[in-house]
A and B are shown apart, each in its own frame.
Chain A
């Protein structure tokens, strides 16, 4: 009960002092706002890159052609060996066998020319088409290693895959994604630092208040908590504009492009529930940055 009263008074007083020291509060709030906008852009970028990579990874297939003279038993056995390889997908559909007779039939069905050419090669021995496997990988950036492992399997003739283009693209995107993480973290740290400096100025102007608090018997906690709540409020206020920008900005961007860029090469992440999770994330970052900044700032002013 006593604690609850102390806490609710602290909240009331910190709320008041955000407005009593409004010009200084505005400085902290704008500082948080700007960072959060950049953080939001970085998150949107990285989420979309993520989505793109995921889709590409799902589509990229390695085709493994076997030697012409491979026996039917050997053909069957190779599936197991392929599945042994590290990066190969675990699902049944990740390794699909393409029997040479089956391929021949598919080709013959697809056009009359093929049908007339392939007509006479109607046994495994005479059919010159190669048996094949379609393989999907888990991590596309490690594709080269997988391919060389596949090539080493006895009976494998050639291995074909996206000519390196897609992997390079995905690798670049991976770097982009990692870079955005670094940028986001760096920004958050810088803001916490800036905020604590801004709040330090605020607190300096309120040194008198702190001295009086100490004089009448306030513990360090008694002094710190209102300032920490104040930081929390500043953080929440600082996240309002970024949240509005994200919510309306991303939705209208999505609608404008109809959810797709470069034809349908890149599909954008759907705004719902994406914008809500970003908003939640922004408000939490704002609160943490505000509180940590305040806490750092008061600490410097207290004799501990």
Chain B
């Protein structure tokens, strides 16, 4: 079943730069996909269009049957509630504890406190941070901060988890740890889309891989086909 369908999407920024050229691709429910490619090839732009940070200049993007491109700024929150997003720089609230950072994503929906507690504890356990709930972001290592961000992204049970270079600031060992967390989340049924530069990790993970080049799909590898040397 296709969860995400991108049909002939193009994106030209106001500056005149065309970051995505007439790109079409589908992602299935429960898939784990890597998007790789050289700097500036349009990886971030592509996934920004998925969580409606940017709109395609032309073409359509369907997520679960909804054309995301048509959603107005005012309604963006509706699609955001269905996706989790994780970034290279974690984007945590520095003055809030780990628990508060994760709970924050539920509080704004008016979820009852006991339910929030149960859910937050569960995801912190999943990302392996159960005993750091009371710490502040600056008291954690980079890998741990990224786990908090992942916990926040999945706490309200989104169908899709989008990660833009989640391991960009982390060493190899820590990066593998993060990948293992993402894989565990994927095993629970969430579709995971990861943008990365780290082809060694991609090599190890043996997942579906999409290679972009100058806004177009250069190559696609089915699960297990990708080899590090390929690019």
Q: Which positions in A face B, CB cutoff 8 Å?
A: 1-3, 5-6, 9, 20, 208-209, 211-220, 222, 303-304
Contact = CB atoms under 8 A, between A and B. Distances in A.
A214 B76 contact: yes
A217 B158 CA distance: 11
Contacts of B76: 214
A192 B72 CA distance: 30
A20 B96 CA distance: 11
A222 B78 CA distance: 12
Given A20-B95, A208-B91, A211-B91, A216 B108 contact: yes
A218 B81 CA distance: 8
Nearest to B106: A216
B105 interface: yes
A213 B80 CA distance: 10
B71 interface: no
Contacts of A9: 107, 110
Contacts of B95: 20
Contacts of B77: 214, 217-220, 222
B69 to A, nearest CB: 16
Given A6-B109, A213-B108, A214-B77, 6 more contacts: A6-B108, A211-B91, A215-B80, A216-B153, A218-B108, A219-B77
Contacts, number: 55
B91 A215 contact: yes
Contacts of A222: 77, 108
Nearest to B94: A208
Q: Is the interface of A mostly helix, strand, loop or mixed?
A: helix
A215 B110 contact: no
A213 B73 CA distance: 14
B74 A5 contact: no
A3 B110 contact: yes
A71 B97 CA distance: 97
Given A215-B85, A216-B152, A219-B77, A5 B91 contact: no
A216 B110 contact: no
Contacts of B78: 217
B104 interface: yes
A288 B108 CA distance: 25
Nearest to B102: A216
B190 to A, nearest CB: 16
A216 B105 contact: yes
A164 B112 CA distance: 73
B178 to A, nearest CB: 19
A5 B107 CA distance: 8
Contacts of A220: 74, 77
B112 A212 contact: no
Point out which of A6, A212, A216 has the most chain B C-beta atoms below 10 A from its C-beta.
Answer: A216
Contacts of B81: 217
B108 A212 contact: no
Nearest to B100: A13
Contacts of B80: 214-217
Interface in B81-132: 81, 85, 91-93, 95, 104-105, 107-113
Contacts of A209: 93
A218 B85 CA distance: 14
B41 to A, nearest CB: 24
A1 B92 CA distance: 28
A212 B153 CA distance: 11
Interface in B176-198: none
